[in-house]
Amino acid sequence: MNETKIICEEKPKLRNPVLVAGLPGIGNVGRMAVGYLVHELKAKKFAELFSPHFFHFVMIHEDAVHVLRNEFYFYNGKERDVIFLIGDCQAFDPKGHYEVAGKILDFAKQLGCREAIAIGGFATGKIRAEGGKQQGEAKPKVLGAASGEKLSKDYEKYGIDFRIAGEVGTIVGATGLLVGLSKLYGMKGLCLLGETSGFPIIATDPNAAEAVLAVLQKIIGTKADTSKLHGKVKDMHEFLKKMEELQQEALKQMKPQQKKNEELRYIG
């Protein structure tokens, strides 16, 4: 297995589907928002993505060995269908991000997808009160960046703040690449970013996820109840935090260990 592979158990027939991606990232906003929606809408898993650009460890999950993966779900909506993408991780190297994003877009295109929305977090560096919404606290902003200048107009009616060019330098990883590369696959794309404090990845921010979901549901036409989101977050948080730590640990173990003072002799 030396290339990213999508194992498709069932090829659903979809009407004008939109791809909605929520992978682990800053504040885990995307992973949490889309994971919650998949659960609430009872979307159906139909394909899995494996990659040699994911880490080389497996997790023990409910007595079974679990290789790191991204998962595709579909949902038959009233007006159009949705393909949800969630996962354990993103690629760990730059080349992997391009390979994985390319495979996802290629697969989505085959399924008739013409629009890709990637959900992420936008780190402000300011801490909000943790653990839940507080009375009188301002709702986090939802920022947007489309795959082309004119496209941002299509999305403006949903209450997205598109004036981020001044504030925001870059979007790192899959969230940015899925949208940025969507043009090459004949799609239009949108990054939807929930404002969060952004102590990266360790934190999970349900307020940002909730704000993003409010906008996202308007765009894709779903009506999931988001009142249970804050309750769900705790479990997700533990899992995502562990995943992040394991990957950091795996990165470390790839570096040479301190050698004993024994000497080795080499020739060449």
Q: What residues numbered 91-110 form the site for its own copies, per CB under 8 A?
A: 91-95, 97-99, 101-102
Closest CA to 173 of 1, 3, 6, 21: 21
Q: Please, what is the minimum distance in Å from the beta carbon of residue 107 to its own copies? A: 13
Residues with Cβ within 8 Å of 85's Cβ and at least 6 positions away in sequence, in order, are: 19, 20, 21, 22, 23, 34, 70, 71, 72, 73, 104
Is 175 near its own copies (CB under 8 A)?
yes
DSSP summary character for residue 158: G
CB-based contact 97:179 (threshold 8 Å): no
Which residue number, 40 or 161, has a Cβ lying nearer to its own copies?
161
Interface of this chain with its own copies, residues 225 to 254, rule: CB under 8 A: 242, 245-246, 248-254
Candidate residues 14, 37, 113, 147; the one interacting with its own copies per rule CB under 8 A: 147
User: Does 148 participate in binding its own copies (rule CB under 8 A)?
Assistant: yes
Q: How far is the C-alpha of 190 from the C-alpha of 178, rounded, in Å? A: 9
Q: Which residue's CB is nearer to its own copies, number 15 or number 202?
A: 202
What the block records as the tokens of 161 is: 């703040």
Residues 50-69 that bind its own copies (CB under 8 A): 50-67
Can you say whether the dihedral through the CA atoms of 52, 56, 60, 64 is positive or negative? Answer: positive
Q: Are 233 and 210 in contact (CB under 8 A)?
A: no
Candidate residues 5, 11, 13, 133; the one interacting with its own copies per rule CB under 8 A: 5
- Least separation, in Å, of the C-beta of 78 and its own copies? 29
With binding defined as CB under 8 A, does residue 2 bind its own copies? yes
Cα dist from 33 to 86, 184, 226, 228, whole Å = 10, 27, 9, 12
Minimum CB separation of residue 204 from its own copies in Å reads 14
What is the Cα–Cα distance from 188 to 202, expressed in whole angstroms? 31
Site for its own copies in 186-205 (CB under 8 A): 189, 191, 193, 198, 200
The verdict on 145 binding its own copies (CB under 8 A) reads yes
Residue placing its CB nearer to its own copies in the complex, 168 or 214: 168
Does position 170 bind its own copies by CB under 8 A? yes
267 binds its own copies (CB under 8 A): yes
Q: Between 14 and 33, name the residue whose CB sits nearer to its own copies.
A: 33
Task: Confirm if 117 and 19 have CB atoms less than 8 A apart.
Answer: yes
